[in-house]
Structures are given as C-alpha cells and as structure tokens.
Chain A
Amino acid sequence: MNDEKEKKLLSLLEVRRPEAFWNRQRGGILAAAAAPRHRAAWMLVPAAAAAALLLMFLGRPKAPAPLPGPQTVSVSFLENLDMLDDMDVLEAVPESEL
C-alpha cells in the first residue's frame, strides 16, 4: 500500500463530530469532575470480579480447624473494592514511574 492510500485509509478511520458535540462532552466531563461520580455498570467490572473472588474464597470448603468467629465483610472493605477501578490507571503508569 502506498503512502497516498494509507493516508486515505487513516482519514476514513477518523471520527468526525460537530463542534456542539465536543462542547457538550467537555461540559459533561468538567461537571462530572466537580460532582460525585456515577459510573456505568460495566465500569464496576474490576470490583465485581474482586467481589466474586471474595465470595468464592469465603465459600470454599472449611479447613479442619474451626475459625474463631463468623466471617463478615465490613462496609468499609467493600467500599475499598472501588479502588480496584484504579487498576485501569495503575496499569497505564509506566513501570519506571511507579
């Protein structure tokens, strides 16, 4: 493929939207940055996966030695699962920056 064709191909892949769209989107982002966050369901996938692992862990066959007390999951622990969403960002940080 020559350069001319490649340029055309890349141009086809561009996304074009009216200026009003970008203005609306920018306003939405800036407003969201100043307000409490409401996430789409799929963005909670990392937290959901961690919760599923936790349930599997808690539901595993009991060891012969009985545990000292009933296992409970505190609200603060569940809230901390939200931190797993930050993995998208942490994964994006080059190793040298960590």
Chain B
Amino acid sequence: MEKDGKPGEEASAGGGPENAFALVVEEHQRVVYAVALRLTGNAAAAEDITQETFLAAWKHLKGFRGESSLKTWLLRIAANKCRSYWRWRKLRSWVGLDERDKDGDGPAIGEILPDDPAGRPEQAAQAADLERRVQAAIAALPPRQREVAVLRAQELSVAEIAAALGMAEGTVKAHWFEARKKLAGSLGEYL
C-alpha cells in the first residue's frame, strides 16, 4: 500500500495534481499526525502541523526530486514544524504567557485527546489513561531521543530516521537504544 514515489507520477496515472495531492494526504496523514502528536503532546497543534506539513509539501512539490522518499520528506517537514512549535512554547514561557511550561512540558490530557474523555464511556477513559501515560513517557525523553522513538514507532528504518532527522545512522541507533530503555522503564507494566 505504501507509495513513496513522486506524487506527479501518481497524477500521470490518472487525474490532475489535485487528485495526486489527495492521494498523498490519504496515504501519509496518519503517520504525519502521529509524529506531530507524539512530538508536541497537543492535539490541536498536531492538527495544525499536519495541515501545514501537507500545504508546505504541496507548495514546494516542484522542488521535490524524488531522491528521498516522500514519507521521509514529509516527516522531516513535520519534525521541523514541531521544533518551531517548541521554540514558540519556550518563547511564550519566557515572556510569561504559558504558566504550565514552568512546571514542565507535560501536556494536559484534554490537549492530547480530540474528544473530552469525561463524556465518553469507561473503556474510553481507560484508553485515555493509557494515552496519558504513553505521552508522559515520551515527553520525559530528551528531544532527540523523543524524535527517534516517535519515528521508530512509525515503522521507519534507521536509515529513514537518519534521513528525516539529519542524523548519522549510528547516532539514531544510540538514541533509539537509550529511548527504548527509558520507555521500557516507564511503560514496563504494559509490556
């Protein structure tokens, strides 16, 4: 199902560029959103980042020569936007507009989930609790380990993660080794 070719090629197979863009969105929206959500811990920001990632890709499609995979390219854009998001949060914290940042980067559960868990059944509340623990475990990782772990969770290979984050493959392996150890410690009861 994974199509990592150039979207133009899909367009030439039938339909116009808009059709090709719709196919690209359908193919990659889940992975882009998942990365954005895990890296920001904020559902609204993750939706913004997902949208902006695809719009930026659409705008700059001519510059994409297909030498790297489309998925890697999209995830690199998304990761850069997540870094911009954290710079913005730090800036807000620095000027005193974001009180929670003083106590850490842990997001409120309402920011992680798209719905209000209080209005959902018991089973959904348990899922919300698990979601909160997973997100807290990810948020506790240092930034680079967090990025590697989140991309690894999207079934990217070490080489793809290295390309998406602009790191050496050895560095990716080292970060994943450390991140895996810490996540296993935090989420051990579920493993």
Contact = CB atoms under 8 A, between A and B. Distances in A.
A97 interface: yes
A42 B88 contact: yes
Interface stretch (B3-11, B74-82, B103-111): B74-82
B98 to A, nearest CB: 11
Given A29-B55, A86-B56, A97-B67, A92 B48 contact: no
B80 A88 contact: yes
Nearest to B75: A92
Contact of A14 (B26, B34, B67): B34
Question: Size band of the A side of the interface?
Answer: 35 or more
Given A13-B153, A28-B51, A97-B65, A42 B134 contact: no
A26 to B, nearest CB: 5
- Per DSSP, chain B at the interface is helix
B30 A86 contact: no
Interface in B9-59: 18, 21-22, 25-26, 29-30, 33-34, 37-38, 45, 47-48, 50-52, 54-59
Given A30-B22, A43-B81, A8 B29 contact: no
Contacts of B47: 25, 28
Contacts of B89: 42
A96 B65 CA distance: 10
Contacts of A86: 56, 59-60
A25 B55 contact: no
Nearest to B56: A89
B39 to A, nearest CB: 11
A39 B114 CA distance: 20
A78 interface: no
A89 B56 CA distance: 7
Contacts of B52: 39-40, 43
A5 B191 contact: yes
Contact of B149 (A13, A17, A40, A41): A13
A16 to B, nearest CB: 8
B150 interface: yes
B21 A6 contact: no
B190 A40 contact: no
Interface string A62-98: 0000000000000000000000011111011110110
